[in-house]
Structure 1
Amino acid sequence: MADADFNELPAMIPPPGHTPNFVDPETLHPAVLSVAIVCMTLMTIAVAIRVYTKAFILREMRVEEYFAIIATVGILVWDALFIDASINGFSRHLYDVRLVHVSRLSYQSYVAEITNAITMFAAKASILFQLRRIFCTGQSRDSVFWAIHILVFLSAAYYTSATFTFIFQCSPREKTWNAFIEGHCIDVAAATVVAGAVNLFLDIGILITPLWAIWHLQLPMKRKLGISAVFGVGILTCAIAAIGVAFRIPLLHDPDLTWLITKVGIWTMVEYCGTILVGCMPSFPRFFLHLRGHDLPTSSSAAGSNSHPSAGRAHAHAHSPSATSAYHSAMMQQARIKGGSSGAGIGMAVTTSEVSFGDHAYIEMEAGYGVRHSDEESTARGSGGDDADWSPLSSPK
Structure 2
Amino acid sequence: LAAPALEPPPGVTPDFDNPPNKNGLAWFVTTFCMAISTLCLFLRLYAKVWVRRETRAEEILMMLAYGAYWGTAYAGYGMIYTPGYFVHQWNMRNGDLIRPLYLILIYGCSYSAVLPLLKTAILLDWCRIFVAGDHTKTFFWWGCMFIIGVQVIWGIACIVLLNTQCVPHEAIWNFYLPSKCYDLNKVMLTSACVQVFTDWVMVLLPQRIIWGLQMNWQKKIGISVIFGVGLLASISASVRLATTVTFAHTADTMYFIAPLLFWACAEMTCGFFILCVPCLPSIIKESGLSGRVKKMLGISESSSNKPSNHDIVTFGGTGPASSNKKSKAGKSLNSTYFKIDEEDGGLPLGDIQTTESQEQLHHQQGNNGLRITRTTRVTVSSDSRS
Q: TM-score, normalised by structure 2?
A: 0.76
Report the 3-state secondary structure (helix = DSSP H, G, I; strand = E; otherwise coil) of the residue aligned with 2:17: coil
- The match for 1:113 among 95, 108, 111 is 108
Contact residue 193 and residue 245 of structure 1 kept, 8 A: yes
Query: In the alignment, what sits opposite 1:365?
Result: none
- The match for 1:213 among 206, 209, 215 is 209
Identity of matched residues, %: 23
Cα distance 1:238–1:302, how it changes in 2: closer, same or farther (>3 A)?
A: same
The alpha carbon displacement at 1:73 in A equals 2.2
Pairing 1:258-297 to 2, within 5 Å after superposition = 258-292=254-288
Report the Cα distance in structure 1 between the residues aligned to 2:267 and 2:28, rounded to whole angstroms. 15
Contact residue 240 and residue 270 of structure 1 kept, 8 A: yes
Letter in 2 for 1:348: V
- The match for 1:15 among 9, 12, 30 is 9
The alpha carbon displacement at 1:143 in A equals 0.7
Whether 1:176 aligns to 2:172 is yes
Cα distance 1:113–1:306, how it changes in 2: closer, same or farther (>3 A)?
A: closer
Report the 3-state secondary structure (helix = DSSP H, G, I; strand = E; otherwise coil) of the residue aligned with 2:176: coil
Contact residue 348 and residue 355 of structure 1 kept, 8 A: no
Contact residue 118 and residue 271 of structure 2 kept, 8 A: yes
Whether 1:124 aligns to 2:98 is no
Query: In the alignment, what sits opposite 1:83?
Result: 77
- Identify unmatched segments of 5+ residues in structure 1: 1-5, 296-300, 308-330, 338-346, 357-367, 373-383, 389-393
- The match for 1:24 among 18, 21, 32 is 18
Whether 1:39 aligns to 2:33 is yes
Letter in 1 for 2:320: G
The alpha carbon displacement at 1:371 in A equals 5.4
Whether 1:104 aligns to 2:111 is no
Cα distance 1:247–1:293, how it changes in 2: closer, same or farther (>3 A)?
A: closer
Report the Cα distance in structure 2 between the residues aligned to 1:335 and 1:89, rounded to whole angstroms. 61
Report the Cα distance in structure 1 between the residues aligned to 2:58 and 2:234, rounded to whole angstroms. 21
Contact residue 171 and residue 184 of structure 1 kept, 8 A: yes
The alpha carbon displacement at 1:241 in A equals 0.9
Contact residue 125 and residue 316 of structure 2 kept, 8 A: no
Instruction: Give CA-to-partner distance per residue, 1:270-302, whole Å, 9 cap, x none.
Output: 11111110111111121122111789xxxxx99
Instruction: Give CA-to-partner distance per residue, 1:205-250, whole Å, 9 cap, x none.
Output: 2111112221122321011111111111111111111111111101
- Identify unmatched segments of 5+ residues in structure 2: 292-299, 327-331, 335-386
Letter in 2 for 1:246: A
The alpha carbon displacement at 1:76 in A equals 2.4
The alpha carbon displacement at 1:74 in A equals 1.6
Letter in 1 for 2:129: I
Letter in 2 for 1:335: N
Query: In the alignment, what sits opposite 2:374?
Result: none
Report the Cα distance in structure 1 between the residues aligned to 2:166 and 2:254, rounded to whole angstroms. 19
Letter in 2 for 1:131: W
- The match for 2:60 among 63, 66, 76 is 66
Report the Cα distance in structure 1 between the residues aligned to 2:237 and 2:84, rounded to whole angstroms. 21
- The match for 2:193 among 188, 194, 197 is 197
Letter in 2 for 1:151: I
The alpha carbon displacement at 1:148 in A equals 0.7
The more displaced of 76-85 and 225-234 is 76-85
Contact residue 14 and residue 91 of structure 2 kept, 8 A: yes
Instruction: Give CA-to-partner distance per residue, 1:121-150, whole Å, 9 cap, x none.
Output: 112112111112212232142111111111
Query: In the alignment, what sits opposite 1:342?
Result: none
Cα distance 1:395–1:144, how it changes in 2: closer, same or farther (>3 A)?
A: farther
Contact residue 118 and residue 159 of structure 1 kept, 8 A: yes
Letter in 2 for 1:154: V
Report the Cα distance in structure 1 between the residues aligned to 2:289 and 2:259, rounded to whole angstroms. 44
Larger radius of gyration: 2
Whether 1:164 aligns to 2:160 is yes
Report the Cα distance in structure 2 between the residues aligned to 1:276 and 1:285, rounded to whole angstroms. 16
Query: In the alignment, what sits opposite 2:313?
Result: 348
Cα distance 1:57–1:395, how it changes in 2: closer, same or farther (>3 A)?
A: farther
Cα distance 1:257–1:214, how it changes in 2: closer, same or farther (>3 A)?
A: same
Cα distance 1:305–1:14, how it changes in 2: closer, same or farther (>3 A)?
A: closer
